[in-house]
Amino acid sequence: MPTATIAGQEVQINDEGFLTEYDEWNEAIGAELAANIGVEMTDRHWEVIRFLREDYQEKGETATTRRVQTVGGFPTKEQFVLFPKKPAKKMAYIAGLPKPHGCV
């Protein structure tokens, strides 16, 4: 498994750059990952990311945009505003989670 240094910490990543070890993530890493893809984090962004991480711990899989809306309470339109174009993929990347199986 490849490794990368993100926010001064060596982490395991896959071929697409997604973190592969849940416990290696922290908010400094999330902030650097967001900057890498042009997402400027606000408090609302962090609320979504924290929901994704908590939901992943409970369910064992990355939430889709539909689940983020219905369970997390973050409307799909807002997800597209916060994380333009491919919100599910971008949210998972920043949260240090695997890519979701489906976009919805």
**Catalytic residue set:** 103
By C-alpha distance, which of 32, 64, 76 is closest to 19? Answer: 32
CA 40 to centroid of chain Cα atoms: 13
Between strands 9-12 and 3-6, the pairing is antiparallel
By C-alpha distance, which of 55, 48, 14, 18 is closest to 33? Answer: 18
